[in-house]
Structure 1
Amino acid sequence: MPLDKNFFTDVYEVVRLVPKGRVTTYGAIAEYLGTKSSARMVGWAMNSAHSTSDVPAHRVVNRQGLLTGKHHFATPQAMQQLLEAEGIVVENDQIQNFDKLAWYPAKELL
Protein backbone atom coordinates (compact mmCIF):
# COMPACT_ATOMS: atom_id res chain seq x y z
CA MET A 1 0.00 0.00 0.00
CA PRO A 2 1.52 3.39 -0.95
CA LEU A 3 1.99 5.88 1.84
CA ASP A 4 -0.47 8.78 1.79
CA LYS A 5 1.66 11.87 2.47
CA ASN A 6 -1.42 14.08 2.83
CA PHE A 7 -2.80 11.77 5.52
CA PHE A 8 0.55 11.84 7.31
CA THR A 9 0.53 15.65 7.18
CA ASP A 10 -2.98 15.69 8.66
CA VAL A 11 -1.89 13.32 11.43
CA TYR A 12 1.11 15.51 12.24
CA GLU A 13 -1.09 18.61 12.43
CA VAL A 14 -3.33 16.92 15.00
CA VAL A 15 -0.38 15.60 17.03
CA ARG A 16 1.09 19.10 17.21
CA LEU A 17 -2.12 20.16 19.00
CA VAL A 18 -1.82 17.62 21.82
CA PRO A 19 -1.13 19.71 24.93
CA LYS A 20 2.08 19.21 26.87
CA GLY A 21 1.44 16.78 29.72
CA ARG A 22 -1.38 15.00 27.86
CA VAL A 23 -1.48 12.01 25.50
CA THR A 24 -3.74 10.82 22.73
CA THR A 25 -4.21 7.55 20.87
CA TYR A 26 -3.78 6.35 17.32
CA GLY A 27 -7.50 5.62 17.18
CA ALA A 28 -8.51 9.02 18.54
CA ILE A 29 -6.50 10.73 15.81
CA ALA A 30 -7.99 8.46 13.14
CA GLU A 31 -11.50 9.16 14.41
CA TYR A 32 -10.92 12.92 14.38
CA LEU A 33 -9.67 12.70 10.79
CA GLY A 34 -12.84 10.87 9.79
CA THR A 35 -11.11 7.55 9.19
CA LYS A 36 -11.94 5.68 12.39
CA SER A 37 -10.67 2.36 11.04
CA SER A 38 -7.24 3.70 10.11
CA ALA A 39 -5.55 3.71 13.53
CA ARG A 40 -2.82 1.49 12.10
CA MET A 41 -2.10 4.02 9.37
CA VAL A 42 -1.82 6.71 12.06
CA GLY A 43 0.79 4.43 13.63
CA TRP A 44 2.70 4.31 10.36
CA ALA A 45 2.59 8.09 10.21
CA MET A 46 3.94 8.27 13.74
CA ASN A 47 6.73 5.83 12.86
CA SER A 48 7.78 8.29 10.16
CA ALA A 49 7.37 11.35 12.40
CA HIS A 50 10.87 11.08 13.77
CA SER A 51 12.17 12.78 10.65
CA THR A 52 9.89 15.72 11.54
CA SER A 53 11.33 17.11 14.77
CA ASP A 54 8.38 19.39 15.53
CA VAL A 55 5.93 16.49 15.92
CA PRO A 56 5.64 15.39 19.58
CA ALA A 57 5.31 11.71 18.67
CA HIS A 58 5.91 10.69 22.29
CA ARG A 59 2.39 11.93 23.13
CA VAL A 60 0.71 9.23 21.00
CA VAL A 61 0.08 5.87 22.66
CA ASN A 62 -2.25 2.94 22.14
CA ARG A 63 -5.85 2.87 23.42
CA GLN A 64 -4.74 1.34 26.72
CA GLY A 65 -2.05 3.95 27.35
CA LEU A 66 0.81 1.64 26.42
CA LEU A 67 4.01 3.00 24.85
CA THR A 68 3.75 0.71 21.85
CA GLY A 69 5.76 3.09 19.64
CA LYS A 70 8.77 3.33 21.93
CA HIS A 71 10.99 1.21 19.69
CA HIS A 72 10.83 3.92 17.00
CA PHE A 73 12.68 6.42 19.19
CA ALA A 74 16.46 6.81 19.39
CA THR A 75 16.56 4.60 22.49
CA PRO A 76 13.93 2.33 24.07
CA GLN A 77 13.74 4.73 27.04
CA ALA A 78 13.43 7.99 25.08
CA MET A 79 9.63 8.00 24.77
CA GLN A 80 9.17 7.44 28.49
CA GLN A 81 11.78 10.07 29.33
CA LEU A 82 10.05 12.67 27.14
CA LEU A 83 6.69 11.92 28.77
CA GLU A 84 8.15 12.05 32.27
CA ALA A 85 9.76 15.41 31.47
CA GLU A 86 6.18 16.65 30.92
CA GLY A 87 5.04 15.31 34.29
CA ILE A 88 3.45 12.08 33.04
CA VAL A 89 4.05 9.00 35.18
CA VAL A 90 4.90 5.83 33.26
CA GLU A 91 5.23 2.41 34.87
CA ASN A 92 5.94 -0.78 32.94
CA ASP A 93 5.50 1.09 29.63
CA GLN A 94 2.00 2.26 30.60
CA ILE A 95 0.72 5.77 31.28
CA GLN A 96 -0.57 6.05 34.84
CA ASN A 97 -3.90 7.89 35.22
CA PHE A 98 -4.40 7.44 31.49
CA ASP A 99 -8.13 8.25 31.69
CA LYS A 100 -7.34 11.67 33.16
CA LEU A 101 -4.48 12.44 30.77
CA ALA A 102 -6.09 11.20 27.54
CA TRP A 103 -6.81 13.98 25.04
CA TYR A 104 -9.41 13.25 22.37
CA PRO A 105 -9.31 15.70 19.46
CA ALA A 106 -12.91 14.95 18.43
CA LYS A 107 -14.04 16.26 21.84
CA GLU A 108 -11.37 18.91 22.47
CA LEU A 109 -11.30 20.51 19.02
CA LEU A 110 -14.98 21.26 18.50
Structure 2
Amino acid sequence: MKDENFFEHVWEVTRQIPKGRVTSYGAIAKVLGVGNLSRMVGHAMGECGKANPPVPYYRVVNSSGHLTGDPSSADKRQQLLEEEGIEVKNLKVQNFKKVFWDPVKELNYE
Protein backbone atom coordinates (compact mmCIF):
# COMPACT_ATOMS: atom_id res chain seq x y z
CA MET A 1 0.00 0.00 0.00
CA LYS A 2 1.45 3.35 -1.04
CA ASP A 3 1.13 6.29 1.35
CA GLU A 4 -0.47 8.57 -1.26
CA ASN A 5 -3.27 6.04 -1.67
CA PHE A 6 -3.95 5.57 2.03
CA PHE A 7 -7.22 7.54 2.07
CA GLU A 8 -8.45 5.66 -1.01
CA HIS A 9 -7.73 2.33 0.71
CA VAL A 10 -9.57 3.47 3.84
CA TRP A 11 -12.54 4.58 1.77
CA GLU A 12 -12.62 1.29 -0.15
CA VAL A 13 -12.76 -0.71 3.09
CA THR A 14 -15.43 1.64 4.46
CA ARG A 15 -17.57 1.18 1.35
CA GLN A 16 -17.67 -2.56 2.12
CA ILE A 17 -19.23 -2.18 5.57
CA PRO A 18 -22.69 -3.70 5.22
CA LYS A 19 -25.76 -1.59 5.84
CA GLY A 20 -26.83 -1.91 9.47
CA ARG A 21 -23.30 -2.65 10.69
CA VAL A 22 -20.41 -0.55 12.02
CA THR A 23 -16.67 -0.92 12.36
CA SER A 24 -13.92 1.00 14.12
CA TYR A 25 -11.10 3.23 12.99
CA GLY A 26 -8.66 0.73 14.50
CA ALA A 27 -10.19 -2.25 12.69
CA ILE A 28 -9.79 -0.47 9.37
CA ALA A 29 -6.18 0.40 10.20
CA LYS A 30 -5.54 -3.21 11.20
CA VAL A 31 -6.94 -4.70 7.97
CA LEU A 32 -4.74 -2.27 6.03
CA GLY A 33 -1.68 -3.52 7.93
CA VAL A 34 -1.14 -0.27 9.83
CA GLY A 35 -2.82 -0.97 13.15
CA ASN A 36 -1.16 2.00 14.81
CA LEU A 37 -2.68 4.52 12.38
CA SER A 38 -6.31 4.63 13.53
CA ARG A 39 -6.06 8.43 13.80
CA MET A 40 -5.11 8.59 10.13
CA VAL A 41 -8.22 6.54 9.37
CA GLY A 42 -10.14 9.26 11.21
CA HIS A 43 -8.49 11.90 9.04
CA ALA A 44 -9.51 9.94 5.95
CA MET A 45 -13.10 9.92 7.19
CA GLY A 46 -12.89 13.70 7.55
CA GLU A 47 -11.88 14.00 3.90
CA CYS A 48 -14.30 11.48 2.42
CA GLY A 49 -16.70 14.16 1.21
CA LYS A 50 -14.46 14.36 -1.85
CA ALA A 51 -14.68 10.63 -2.54
CA ASN A 52 -16.53 9.16 -5.46
CA PRO A 53 -18.36 6.84 -5.09
CA PRO A 54 -19.63 8.11 -1.72
CA VAL A 55 -18.26 6.68 1.52
CA PRO A 56 -20.62 5.63 4.36
CA TYR A 57 -18.39 7.43 6.88
CA TYR A 58 -21.07 7.28 9.59
CA ARG A 59 -20.56 3.50 9.89
CA VAL A 60 -17.08 4.07 11.37
CA VAL A 61 -16.98 4.66 15.13
CA ASN A 62 -14.38 4.40 17.85
CA SER A 63 -13.39 1.12 19.49
CA SER A 64 -16.04 1.44 22.20
CA GLY A 65 -18.84 2.28 19.78
CA HIS A 66 -18.94 6.04 20.30
CA LEU A 67 -19.58 8.44 17.45
CA THR A 68 -16.47 10.56 17.33
CA GLY A 69 -15.07 13.13 14.97
CA ASP A 70 -16.74 16.40 14.02
CA PRO A 71 -19.25 17.17 16.78
CA SER A 72 -21.34 19.28 14.41
CA SER A 73 -22.19 16.18 12.36
CA ALA A 74 -22.94 13.82 15.27
CA ASP A 75 -26.72 14.20 15.00
CA LYS A 76 -26.61 13.51 11.26
CA ARG A 77 -24.43 10.42 11.77
CA GLN A 78 -26.78 9.16 14.47
CA GLN A 79 -29.76 9.70 12.18
CA LEU A 80 -28.10 7.80 9.32
CA LEU A 81 -27.22 4.88 11.60
CA GLU A 82 -30.72 4.77 13.04
CA GLU A 83 -32.18 4.72 9.52
CA GLU A 84 -30.18 1.51 9.02
CA GLY A 85 -31.62 -0.01 12.20
CA ILE A 86 -28.69 0.71 14.53
CA GLU A 87 -29.71 1.98 17.94
CA VAL A 88 -27.66 4.93 19.21
CA LYS A 89 -27.99 6.49 22.67
CA ASN A 90 -25.85 9.35 23.95
CA LEU A 91 -23.71 9.10 20.80
CA LYS A 92 -22.92 5.44 21.52
CA VAL A 93 -23.92 2.47 19.37
CA GLN A 94 -26.01 0.06 21.41
CA ASN A 95 -25.32 -3.66 21.05
CA PHE A 96 -21.93 -2.66 19.62
CA LYS A 97 -20.49 -6.18 19.63
CA LYS A 98 -23.56 -7.52 17.83
CA VAL A 99 -23.46 -4.93 15.00
CA PHE A 100 -19.65 -4.74 14.78
CA TRP A 101 -18.30 -5.74 11.36
CA ASP A 102 -14.69 -6.92 11.52
CA PRO A 103 -12.94 -6.25 8.20
CA VAL A 104 -10.01 -8.43 9.25
CA LYS A 105 -12.35 -11.44 9.33
CA GLU A 106 -14.53 -10.39 6.40
CA LEU A 107 -12.00 -9.17 3.85
CA ASN A 108 -8.91 -10.53 2.22
CA TYR A 109 -7.49 -7.08 1.68
CA GLU A 110 -4.03 -6.40 0.29
TM-score by length of 1: 0.89
Cα 1:90/1:42, change in 2 over 3 Å: same
Aligned partner of 1:57 in structure 2 is 57
C-alpha contact (below 8 Å) 1:70/1:77 kept by paired residues: no
Aligned partner of 2:79 in structure 1 is 81
Cα 1:10/1:43, change in 2 over 3 Å: same
| Counterpart Cα distance in 2 of 1:70 and 1:85 | 20
Could you list the per-position Cα deviations for residues 3-53 of structure 1 after superposition, in whole angstroms to 9, with x for gaps in the alignment? x54000000000000000000000000000000000000000001112336
**3-state SS of paired residue (1:77):** helix
| Counterpart Cα distance in 1 of 2:86 and 2:59 | 10
TM-score by length of 2: 0.89
| Counterpart Cα distance in 1 of 2:91 and 2:57 | 15
C-alpha contact (below 8 Å) 1:15/1:60 kept by paired residues: yes
C-alpha contact (below 8 Å) 1:70/1:79 kept by paired residues: no
Instruction: Give 1:14-93 correspondences, 5 Å limit.
Output: 14-52=13-51, 54-71=54-71, 73=73, 76-93=74-91
The letter of the residue matching 1:16 is R
RMSD, matched Cα: 1.4
Q: Which 4+ residue blocks in structure 1 deviate beyond 6 angstroms? A: none
